[in-house]
Structure 1
């Protein structure tokens, strides 16, 4: 009987050794200079358990994403997979015409803010199941905020702060408590017409001037209604729009964000 079991025991022993060796290799890789794999050691199970180790490996594309995770922020699509993202600052399709998030094309927010965004998404789809939120930006490092601020140095200070918060004070984006977004048809991908593009510096993009531009015919009723729909569902999630950007919504005031969270530098 013992002779019959020996081959099985041998196979089991070899498999256990292989698993332990693989776990050691994964552990060693976490101490390397590679930016391809980041291991959450604090939440890692016993490294002898290969399956548990692999489940705690998060593949990341950049140091920026590591900083987001370290700060306790969450990927919004891990909270609500129905949310769509189009990270404009990971491309050249933005007001600076340059890539600001190198190798990073996700949207991270404070967990409580991501939950609010999911609530807004559900409010939108309850109104019209063919629509979905499309998110352009969430947490923005202050270093990127500084680049944006410097790029607009030809604009008078009082006008510049209407579009980009002074990095000295910190933007609500820097705390992971603000989001830029629009609404699209989730089947066609077409944007709802808001009468002005994302990152549009013109006053026609200002929510506070909508009545004026509607009266002049420069905005249509449909465009204003689309903006109102966006504001309605975002309010349902616990956000409010700012006066100068139809796409920008805050979950907390700067004072409250500063009390609760740290700036992502």
Structure 2
């Protein structure tokens, strides 16, 4: 049984069985099963240090249009013995709400050393690291990197995923030549295949022609 609730913020919630996704969404595994997945918000390995609300399974849910293009990119990379690896894709609004709630508790700095050593937690809203609404909740944004399929190791991008700081800006000059090349490899293959990059995060890309540009979903990742 599916129930749909609309709020004044245009948030859309669905309660559904694991295979019963909202129209327009797919499980990436059904389209491109070779893409590697490590949903960080399902684990303790993230900037909060605990699993995030709304994440129940290590599976990528995304709009169909996004999945089709990710499959195309993956096919290109596999020829070079490389693979995409996804850290986050569709993100429920309840997860975003979890981030906001956490950001307001200034003494909760469990993961500061790993994820935001040079940024005061009190400035996370002002600097744009935390927001009340995320493009991820529209279903066509992905956080990802590239993996060497021979070694199964991520390419060195000069900063970890979700690192809050200028070192994560795509064109930051403090990283090495190889790290810059790796970032540009990811950026080029994504942009060439219909994605817009984000100026502050080397890992963040949004489909240029996203099907739900003004709708923020709130169904579980199940």
Q: TM-score, normalised by structure 2?
A: 0.76
Larger Rg over CA atoms: 1
Q: Residues of 2 paired with 1:99 and 1:199: CA distance?
A: 15
More strand, by proportion = 2
Structure 1 runs not aligned, ≥5 long: 1-30, 32-37, 39-62, 214-218
The answer to whether 1:150 aligns with 2:101 is yes
2:162 to 195, 199, 208: 199
Show the counterpart of 2:213.
258
RMSD value over aligned CA atoms? 2.4
2:205 to 218, 229, 249: 249
Show the counterpart of 2:38.
86
Please show how residues 112-151 of structure 1 align to structure 2 within 5 Å: 112-126=65-79, 128=80, 130-151=81-102
Structure 2 runs not aligned, ≥5 long: 3-14, 105-120
Provide closer, same or farther for how the CA distance between residues 67 and 82 of structure 1 changes in structure 2, counting only shifts above 3 A: closer
Provide closer, same or farther for how the CA distance between residues 77 and 67 of structure 1 changes in structure 2, counting only shifts above 3 A: closer
2:179 to 218, 223, 231: 223
Provide closer, same or farther for how the CA distance between residues 65 and 233 of structure 1 changes in structure 2, counting only shifts above 3 A: farther
2:64 to 111, 124, 129: 111
The answer to whether 1:185 aligns with 2:136 is no
For the 8 Å contact 1:64–1:104, the answer to whether it is kept is no
Q: Residues of 2 paired with 1:241 and 1:68: CA distance?
A: 30
Provide closer, same or farther for how the CA distance between residues 116 and 141 of structure 1 changes in structure 2, counting only shifts above 3 A: same
The count of corresponding residues between Structure 1 and Structure 2 is: 188
- SS state of the match for residue 84, structure 2? strand
For the 8 Å contact 1:68–1:74, the answer to whether it is kept is no
Q: CA deviation at 1:158?
A: 2.2
**Most deviating of 98-107 and 177-186:** 98-107
Show the counterpart of 1:237.
193
Provide closer, same or farther for how the CA distance between residues 68 and 183 of structure 1 changes in structure 2, counting only shifts above 3 A: farther
Greater relative contact order structure (CA < 8 Å, 6+ sep): 2
Q: Residues of 2 paired with 1:105 and 1:65: CA distance?
A: 16
More helix, by proportion = 1
Q: Residues of 2 paired with 1:65 and 1:138: CA distance?
A: 19
Provide closer, same or farther for how the CA distance between residues 253 and 189 of structure 1 changes in structure 2, counting only shifts above 3 A: same
Q: Residues of 1 paired with 2:18 and 2:154: CA distance?
A: 31
Q: Residues of 2 paired with 1:98 and 1:263: CA distance?
A: 23
